[in-house]
Chains A and B, each alone.
Chain A
């Protein structure tokens, strides 16, 4: 019998081991179509990467421009540079730069000594080079209103005004900004969030399947935001925010796979990662076995640190502060609570840490704080906010997940 059996093995082996047959042309056509699709997706992914980089650079550039143009002057002693428009018209190309530190009256208008310093600097400059147009400090321009500042002996104030292109209205605004004293604000808030996600995958069926069985439940966030108001308009904001997102999962069929430790367990896949479930009852599953789970709950918790640029428009009682920036998100918890049962047993399995979930991701944030000032120090704040991940929260999962959320928060802001 053994000989017959080996004969039949040899017979098939020798007959078919080198067997070749040309597949139909349709296979190559479908393959080309798939490869084209993959190329397009790969191009799209590269483009997304560039878009994210561009966004980050744009934010950095905005900050840099604001800083360099002198819109942000951190404190009265900040050595931010200011150049008059006259310099642009200087045919000799000579630079007439002056620092705000040296030539502009500090925040305190009654600081006589400082005013005298500024005034004497201008006098010196004019004496030394009477033919040349001198860089003019705003302190000098405001001479008539500011005691202690005298125009130089060779030129009167009108002469000075001719040398600069700043209009009186702009000049006043500029002065007001220079007298602005930076301050801090702290906002404590709680927010109701409606979360969602954008899924990317090479397998469209995986996206459909996950979207079908998962539904976001109302989520919330809590935190405090610290704002440094650098000018009357511009500010920088950071803080710490805790976010809790809950996703309800419909009953689903899971299949047994070999887990990384070599054991066979049921693989439960979510949009944030996957877990291997080993029931405490029944026999050890074999690869390919299936198990239908009941409804489940998936919770993700983040600690977020934002960095945003804020722009404030205000009157006495109300101020609106839109802003945009980036957030560093630390996923502190991604757990799964699922009920499994067979005919005789039932068990609730809690997975504390999902596989395939990153511990960190970046997101973009845009918000608008609406503040009602109760008094000079205290205000009530309403804050709609939108955030969208710019890097996925998953790795080695069937889908790449980019969470987003729209939240409406309320809180209290203290100025100090």
Chain B
């Protein structure tokens, strides 16, 4: 995507019309991102609001070397993370054995689900799992980077990711059962 240079310059000048254009251009994409990090719609909107406020406040700090969308995305992720930097949120809160989960028994049924349901599944994850899953899968962070960003150990990051995957597999399995039951 080409850098929206004029938009950026207008926003640096504090022109409200340019700020609105920038918001309209990026808000849907960023709302999709925020929904994945938040536990519900309201929280996602709070993150989005906070993120755009930072974007407009610090837009003069954007050096133009990387992608502008990437810069906004990073701000949104940081806003989301700042809500969960309390360590208690990030520790494992469920145990796999209580889920009765066996990943080998699962098949890929997620393709039958729409994006809203996928978002809903991620939102149903405990905060610690949701954040680590998002950072690993969508932002491409390594466990070392996740540990650094969240102030947890690499072991906790790995454990959270593994449990998040297991949780999602289990949730998908339940969905599949329900779908099969409804179809029958």
Which positions in A face B, CB cutoff 8 Å? 1, 4-5, 7-9, 11-13, 15-24, 26-28, 30-32, 34-35, 38-39, 255-256, 258, 264, 286-290
Contact = CB atoms under 8 A, between A and B. Distances in A.
A32 B16 CA distance: 8
A20 B30 CA distance: 7
Contact of B118 (A5, A16, A34, A38): A16
Contacts of A28: 20, 23, 27
B122 A12 contact: yes
Interface of B: 14, 16, 19-20, 23, 27-29, 31-32, 35-36, 44-45, 48-49, 52-53, 56-57, 85-88, 90, 103-104, 106, 108, 110-111, 113, 115, 118-119, 122, 133, 136-138, 150-152, 162, 165, 168-169, 172
Nearest to A264: B151
Contacts of B118: 12, 15-16
Contact of A31 (B52, B108, B151, B162): B52
A290 B118 CA distance: 35
Contacts of A256: 151
A15 B138 contact: no
Contacts of B53: 31, 34-35
Given A27-B45, A27-B48, A286-B152, A16 B23 contact: no
Nearest to B24: A28
A39 B11 CA distance: 13
B87 A288 contact: yes
25 contacts: A1-B104, A7-B108, A8-B108, A11-B111, A15-B110, A15-B118, A16-B36, A16-B115, A17-B138, A19-B32, A19-B35, A19-B36, A19-B115, A19-B119, A21-B32, A22-B27, A27-B27, A28-B20, A28-B27, A35-B16, A38-B57, A286-B87, A286-B152, A288-B151, A289-B87
Contacts, number: 112
8 closest Cβ contacts across the A-B interface?
A287-B151, A19-B32, A20-B28, A288-B87, A11-B110, A23-B31, A288-B86, A288-B85
A23 B52 CA distance: 12
Given A1-B104, A8-B110, A287-B87, A30 B119 contact: no
Contacts of B57: 38
B127 to A, nearest CB: 12
Given A12-B168, A15-B113, A31-B49, 12 more contacts: A4-B108, A5-B165, A8-B108, A8-B110, A8-B169, A9-B165, A12-B118, A15-B118, A27-B49, A31-B53, A38-B57, A288-B88
A266 B27 CA distance: 35
B138 A8 contact: no
B165 A30 contact: no
Contacts of A38: 57
Given A23-B27, A23-B45, A16 B119 contact: yes
B131 to A, nearest CB: 12
Contacts of B44: 23
- The CB with the most chain B CB atoms within 10 A, among A12, A39, A286, A289, is that of A12
Contact of B31 (A8, A15, A22): A22
Contacts of B27: 22-23, 27-28
